[in-house]
């Protein structure tokens, strides 16, 4: 059986154009999906951070200064309880004191390097 090859310029150009169009469509689709995914994740993250800031602004005036470990534990528990899904874990620290919303949870994902980076970043600014 003879294999028929693409002879002539026109069939080759049609195949090349088809391949380029297919690759371009796949690339555009992948990039669009990526950007949409990033946008949704950013929007979700902004909503959670906004909710957390609102909760902290509401509860912070009630904290004694300087706060004790029991006050930090109560703040962590209150903030975690405000999450509708019930899956939020909260760690509150003040200088050398820390308290978690889940008793005994040491937050192992917070490595010493992360803790040093947070400690060296200084206090949060009030301009958001």
pLDDT at residue 128, rounded to an integer: 46
Q: What is the pLDDT of residue 97?
A: 81
pLDDT tens readout for residues 65-96? 888 888 888 888 888 888 777 778 888 888 88
Per the rule left: phi > 0, alpha: psi between -120 and 50, beta: everything else, 96 is alpha
Is residue 65 within 8 Å of 42, Cβ to Cβ?
A: no
Query: Is the full-model pTM beyond 0.85?
Result: no
Q: Could you tell me if 55 and 82 are in contact, meaning their C-beta atoms sit under 8 angstroms apart?
A: yes
**How far is C-alpha 86 from the geometric centre of its chain's CA atoms?**
18
Token pair for 39: 């946008």
Between 125 and 23, residue with greater pLDDT? 23
pLDDT for the residue numbered 119 = 79
**24-76: pLDDT as tens digits:** 999 999 999 999 999 999 999 999 889 888 888 888 888 888 888 888 888 88
Element containing residue 76 per DSSP (H, E): helix 69-81
CA neighbor of 105 nearest in space, from 88, 117, 121, 81: 88
pLDDT at residue 110 is higher than 80: yes
Residues paired with residue 99 on neighbouring β-strands, in sequence order:
92
Three-state SS at 19? helix
Secondary structure (3-state) at 92:
strand
Q: Residue 103's pLDDT is what?
A: 80
């Amino acid at each position: 059986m003879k294999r028929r090859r693409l002879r002539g310029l026109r069939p080759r150009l049609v195949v090349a154009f088809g391949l380029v169009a297919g690759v371009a469509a796949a690339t555009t689709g992948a990039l669009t999906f990526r950007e949409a995914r990033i946008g949704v994740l950013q929007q979700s993250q902004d909503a959670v951070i906004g909710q957390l800031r609102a909760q902290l602004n509401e509860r912070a005036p009630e904290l004694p200064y300087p706060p004790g470990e029991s006050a930090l534990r109560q703040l962590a528990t209150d903030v975690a309880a405000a999450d509708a899904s019930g899956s939020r874990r909260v760690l509150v620290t003040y200088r050398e004191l820390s308290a978690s919303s889940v008793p005994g949870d040491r937050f192992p994902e917070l490595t010493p390097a992360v803790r040093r980076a947070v400690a060296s970043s200084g206090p949060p600014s009030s301009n958001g």
